[in-house]
């Protein structure tokens, strides 16, 4: 789990990013993360979330967002990472390990860089620190003063770090890189004089004196025009130094330590010349050219830094470049002993009589073009190879597994003195793939075995291969492997060798038998995707339409294959703008067609649909059927019970099918038991045409599960609807242990249930639509300010279309209550005045009573009136003789508060006592909640009557009930009255016998 502030505020897990939702929720999270492991008062959160005056119920809104964050933490497995969002009275504390927060890691790496003696090491650490930034800090949050201030402070630390990186490059003598780093930031921050001064010096040292002077004059003019000031001392000193050809000690931070100033009139150092410091204290291993980069010096270390004959992984960003002399072969150094693999073939004439060592094989294809980014995955591949000797690069079709493996292999080829072998096993090709025997017929000759002496028997060939690789530092790259059995015979046998395997499947067999280390490869982010487009169609074209480039990246799901096809479409249409193609791709009916490339020579073509087709063709039958049924899935994710409904199989069978789809990277298990799929995969599944009953089975699963969740969350209340008469009952439903489990299910499925309502309406199944909307009422009760109105408006419309007055009454009553909670009373009254009439027409006393109470609540927002008192009296009378205790308690609770507000504390106390006598031995669920509220009202009435001792005992009991049932309103009311009891005036009255 990782928390991100340096860019869009986000929470990421191994399965992907958690859906944070609206900007206010991101702002609450950002405020808690900015003060992680410290107590943050609710008032501070309110100031953070609202840029202007907060609403009256701001505290409740914040509590709702905190509740949703807790549910998201649960989904992401926060407990496993030591993350907890705790309540502290009127405050919250987000407890977490520091290393999970990107701002902490950024600060830590910058501090470490400051302690490095060699500038090459500092460069590596500063680059890694800056790589944590994914855009402007705190993106996606509210533009409130606290967050704007925090974002500005973080941006300032980033700019200082950029200046430090440029200075480190300068100390290495790499002034061109320093200028490149500074140029972009100086353009973005033209009034920051320190950036311009550093850029001027870097440009001067690369031999661009005129460009340096031009920078100064542009900045001087801008300062005068924008601020009406002259350049400061640092900028003037840089100008004078460049003008006369001397670099004063005051501003020579980019020069190597101990280097002399450039003499007036002297030419600047040649851009390619090494820095004096490096000439004096170069750490390059013997035999390497002095002109190699500082990154190589810092990352490669010495030949002694090896594990089992292979160098330890360089730090992130410190990739070792291929040697200029290495073109397909690596000659043995003079006098080196003949390696074991050569000795094994010495009698065959492969060594020309044994007089000289064979060149090490190099079967790698060329370096992939347009490879960008992936620093984290390259580092993970380093770690996997070092730790396990066998790494499996896994990911969906088109994500760039082959490109990553080849790029890494080219970067690290020098670590494998005995050569590199490569084979594409074509496991996901429409043609028949290669087996191990086919590959060995290529590998053995590359290892020095004459072709005529390659054994015909696969067993003998595998044995010879094992003997040749037993003591050899060889890298084997196996591409597009479908099964562990295909790869296992091709792995190098000795501890000095290593293998990188790529597959669309997870290849758990290699993990078990070979202790292979998986390296999952995900899609690209927006910036990386835009960079890939720029590399293919031109940076100018992408820079002219940055928003459209990001839109294309999103429509391509960040999938490199889709992005490359998109680039091909743009290259073929130079007159098209990026926005034109984005508009075309936005049409879901055409997107996959646009992401296809026609094959040549009668082939089936390339692109996203072809890649997905080949993946699906290799699935087991149940998994293939489930994938086809996913085309009916209206939401973004599903669990095994939803999959069972789509598949019309038991959950255990569905779970197995889900695992197979995850193995093929068609689904991602982003949280335990929850699976999602990318948009392009979803579109492809929809084109496979699920059976006609799949959607209805899924709707009925959601309906029956929601009814079970409502019973678990509020066991004391009556069901809000009956089961549809033609329901398709699944073989099993989820079990809910209690309210918490039910509310967690509601939270996890909220978006899916909303999508199910929309799908039901689109399919004309309004009988399911209104039920699915209304059945979420227990979750709405605890999260009333969370944007439920559109969903319930759809529910009202569907109930009306079904001509079901009771359903319409319930939906309008709930919608009216929510609108009242949001302060939209005139809109609420439209629904609430209709609801009792509809319930009466349906002959449902409970519905009518609930509607009357909700109407009274709305009317009382402007003061208690005879009309609202009559509604609560009528509501209580309607259910008094029935078995609906909860609705009677609802009516009595509100009526007692009305009477208290109207100045009748005795009537309020009598009404509250009457309610507390109803099922007084049971205080669970809603019953306990209503008892808590009635107890608080009784305590307030006793206080108003001057019966302070009884009032204190009653209010203390109310507070306990509120805490027990996590009802903050009851706790707040009780504590407010208790504080009043403890004022000096009240205490004096009590002392006087009051």
Per-residue pLDDT of 599-644, as tens digits, reads 443 344 578 888 888 888 888 899 999 999 999 999 989 999 999 9
Residue 331 has a pLDDT of 33
Residue with tokens 């993970």: 380
What 3-state class would DSSP assign to 638? strand
Compute the distance between CA of residue 375 and CA of residue 525 in angstroms, rounded to an integer.
13
Residues 6+ away with beta carbon under 8 Å from 369: none
Q: Global pTM?
A: 0.57
- Total count of residues recorded for the chain: 994
Tokens of 969: 């309103």
| Alpha carbon distance 614, 455 (integer Å) | 33
Query: What's the DSSP call for residue 266?
Result: P
Q: Is 188 helix (H, G, I), strand (E, B) or coil?
A: helix
- Other CB atoms within a 10 A radius of the CB of residue 843 amount to 10
Give the H or E element holding residue 624: helix 621-629
Residue 638: strand pairing partners = 675
Within 13 Å and on the Cβ side, how many CA atoms surround 544?
Answer: 9
Task: List Cα–Cα distances, 707 to 545, 711, 753, 816, in angstroms.
Answer: 49, 6, 13, 22
Say if residues 730 and 697 touch (Cβ distance below 8 Å).
yes
**In whole angstroms, what is the distance from residue 554 CA to residue 535 CA?**
17
147 in Cβ contact with 27 (< 8 Å): yes
| Residue (of 966, 892, 880, 979) closest to 935 by Cα position | 892
φ/ψ bin of 803: left (φ > 0), alpha (ψ from -120 to 50), beta (otherwise): left
Among 236, 177, 227, smallest CA distance to 206 is for 177
- Angstrom distance (rounded) from CA 512 to CA 972: 56
For β-strands 310-311 and 91-95, DSSP reports them as unpaired
Sheet of strand 2-4: strand arrangement: 2-4, 10-13, 16-17
Strands 498-503 and 390-394: parallel
Residue given tokens 């019970």 in the structure block:
641
Structure tokens at 665: 């990277």
What single DSSP character describes residue 101? B
Q: Which two tokens stand for residue 151?
A: 């974002």
For residues 704 and 958, what is the distance between their CA atoms, to the nearest angstrom?
A: 35
Chain Cα centroid distance, residue 647: 29
Give me Rg for the CA atoms of the chain: 35
Question: Rounded to a whole number, what is the largest CA-CA distance in the chain?
Answer: 118
Q: For tokens 């835009």, what's the residue?
A: 530
Q: What is the rounded CA–CA span in Å between residue 547 and residue 544? A: 9
Check residue 304 and give its pLDDT.
30
Tell which residue, 758, 654, 741, has the closest CA to residue 705. 741
**Under DSSP, is residue 730 helix (H, G, I), strand (E, B) or coil?**
coil
- Residue indicated by tokens 């939401």: 635
Query: Which regions of the chain are under pLDDT 50?
Result: 248-356, 599-604, 920-923, 991-994
- Is there a contact between 720 and 775 (Cβ–Cβ < 8 Å)? yes
Q: How far is C-alpha 611 from the chain's CA centre?
A: 25
**Which pLDDT score, from 0 to 100, does residue 870 have?**
95
Q: Where are the alpha helices (DSSP H) in 479-572?
A: 484-487, 508-514, 526-537, 539-543, 546-555, 560-572
Q: Given the structure tokens 């009127």, which residue do they identify?
A: 90
What whole-number distance in Å separates Cα of residue 792 and Cα of residue 833? 17
CA distance 613 to 629: 15
How many CB atoms lie under 10 A from the CB of residue 143? 11
3-class secondary-structure state, position 91? strand
Cα distance between residue 422 and residue 207, in whole Å = 44
Residues 726, 723: Cα–Cα separation, whole Å = 9
């Amino acid at each position: 789990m990782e928390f991100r502030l340096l860019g869009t505020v986000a929470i990421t897990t191994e399965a992907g990013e958690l859906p944070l939702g609206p900007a206010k929720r991101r702002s609450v999270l950002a405020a808690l993360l900015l003060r992680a492991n410290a107590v943050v008062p609710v008032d501070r959160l309110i100031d953070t979330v609202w840029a202007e005056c907060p609403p009256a119920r701001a505290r409740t809104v914040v509590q709702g967002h905190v509740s949703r964050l807790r549910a998201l933490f649960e989904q992401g497995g926060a407990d496993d990472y030591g993350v907890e969002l705790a309540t502290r009275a009127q405050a919250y504390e987000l407890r977490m390990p520091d290393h999970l927060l990107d701002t902490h890691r950024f600060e830590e790496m910058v501090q470490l860089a400051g302690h490095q003696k060699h500038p090459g090491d500092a460069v590596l650490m500063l680059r890694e620190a800056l790589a944590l930034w994914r855009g402007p800090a705190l993106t996606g949050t509210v533009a409130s003063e606290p967050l704007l201030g925090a974002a500005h402070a973080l941006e300032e630390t980033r700019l200082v770090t950029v200046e430090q990186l440029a200075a480190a490059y300068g100390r290495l003598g790499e002034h061109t890189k320093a200028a490149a780093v500074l140029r972009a930031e100086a353009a973005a921050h033209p009034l920051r004089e320190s950036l311009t001064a550093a850029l001027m010096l870097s440009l001067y040292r690369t031999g661009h004196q005129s460009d340096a002077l031009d920078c100064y004059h542009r900045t001087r003019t801008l300062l005068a025009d924008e601020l009406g000031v002259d350049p400061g001392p640092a900028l003037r000193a840089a100008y004078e130094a460049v003008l006369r050809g001397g670099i004063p000690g005051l501003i020579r931070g980019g020069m190597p330590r101990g280097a002399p100033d450039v003499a007036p009139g002297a030419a600047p150092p040649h851009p390619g010349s090494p820095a004096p410091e490096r000439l004096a204290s170069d750490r390059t291993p013997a035999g390497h050219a002095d002109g190699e980069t500082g990154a190589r010096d810092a990352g490669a270390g010495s030949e002694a830094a090896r594990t089992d004959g292979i160098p330890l992984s360089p730090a992130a960003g410190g990739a070792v470049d291929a040697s200029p002399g290495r073109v397909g072969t690596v000659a043995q150094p003079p006098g080196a002993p003949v390696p074991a693999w050569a000795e094994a073939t010495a009698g065959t004439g492969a060594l020309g009589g044994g007089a000289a060592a064979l060149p090490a094989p190099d079967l790698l294809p060329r370096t992939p073009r347009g490879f960008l980014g992936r620093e984290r995955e390259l580092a993970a591949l380093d770690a996997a190879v070092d730790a396990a000797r066998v790494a499996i690069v896994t990911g969906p079709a088109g994500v760039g597994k082959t490109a990553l493996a080849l790029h890494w292999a080219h970067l690290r080829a020098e670590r494998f003195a005995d050569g590199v072998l490569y084979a594409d096993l074509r496991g996901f090709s429409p043609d028949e793939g290669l087996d191990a025997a086919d590959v060995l017929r290529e590998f053995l000759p590359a290892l020095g075995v004459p072709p005529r002496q390659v054994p015909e028997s696969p067993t003998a060939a595998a044995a010879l291969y094992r003997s040749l690789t037993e003591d050899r530092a060889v890298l084997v790259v196996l591409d597009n492997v479908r099964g562990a059995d295909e790869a296992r015979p091709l792995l190098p046998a000795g501890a000095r060798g290593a293998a990188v395997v790529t597959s669309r499947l997870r290849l758990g067999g290699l993990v078990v038998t070979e202790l292979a280390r998986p390296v999952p490869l995900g899609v690209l982010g927006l910036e990386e995707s835009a960079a890939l487009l720029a590399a293919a169609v031109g940076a100018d074209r992408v820079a002219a339409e940055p928003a459209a480039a990001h839109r294309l990246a999103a429509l391509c799901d960040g999938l490199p294959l889709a992005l490359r096809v998109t680039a091909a479409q743009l290259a073929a249409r130079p007159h098209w703008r990026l926005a034109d193609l984005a508009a075309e791709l936005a049409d879901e009916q055409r997107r996959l067609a646009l992401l296809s490339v026609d094959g040549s020579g009668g082939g089936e073509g390339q692109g996203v649909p072809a890649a997905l087709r080949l993946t699906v063709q290799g699935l087991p039958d149940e998994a293939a059927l489930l994938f086809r049924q996913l085309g009916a899935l209206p939401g973004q994710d599903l669990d095994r019970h939803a999959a069972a409904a789509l598949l019309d199989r038991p959950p255990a069978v569905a779970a197995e099918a889900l695992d197979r789809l995850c193995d093929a990277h068609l689904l991602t298990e982003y949280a335990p038991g929850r699976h999602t799929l990318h948009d392009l995969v979803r579109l492809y599944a929809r084109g496979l045409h699920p059976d006609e009953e799949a959607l209805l089975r899924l709707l009925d699963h959601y309906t029956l599960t929601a009814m079970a969740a409502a019973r678990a969350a509020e066991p004391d209340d009556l069901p809000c609807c009956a089961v549809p008469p033609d329901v398709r009952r699944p073989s099993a439903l989820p079990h809910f242990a209690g309210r918490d489990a039910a509310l967690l299910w509601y939270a996890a499925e909220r978006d899916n249930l909303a999508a199910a309502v929309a799908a039901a309406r689109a399919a004309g199944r309004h009988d399911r639509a209104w039920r699915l909307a209304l059945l979420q009422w227990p979750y709405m009760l605890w999260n009333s300010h969370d944007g439920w109105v559109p969903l319930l408006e759809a529910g009202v419309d569907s109930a009306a279309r079904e001509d079901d007055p009771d359903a319409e009454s319930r939906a309008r009553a709930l919608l009216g209550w929510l609108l009242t909670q949001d302060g939209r009373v005139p809109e609420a009254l439209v629904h609430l005045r209709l609801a009792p009439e509809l319930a009466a027409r349906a002959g449902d006393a409970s519905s009518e009573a609930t509607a009357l109470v909700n109407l009274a609540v709305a009317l009382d927002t402007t003061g208690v009136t005879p009309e609202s008192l009559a509604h609560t009296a009528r509501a209580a009378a309607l259910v008094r003789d029935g078995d609906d205790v909860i609705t009677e308690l609802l009516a009595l609770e509100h009526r007692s508060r009305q009477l208290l507000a109207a100045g009748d504390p005795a009537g309020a106390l009598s009404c509250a006592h009457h309610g507390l006598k109803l099922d007084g031995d049971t205080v669970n669920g809603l019953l306990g909640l209503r008892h808590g509220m009635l107890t608080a009202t009784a305590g307030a009435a006793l206080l108003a009557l001057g019966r302070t001792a009884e009032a204190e005992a009653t209010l203390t009991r109310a507070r306990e009930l509120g805490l027990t049932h996590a009802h903050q309103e009851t706790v707040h009311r009780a504590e407010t009255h208790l504080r009043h009891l403890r004022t000096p005036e009240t205490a004096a009255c009590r002392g006087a016998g009051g």
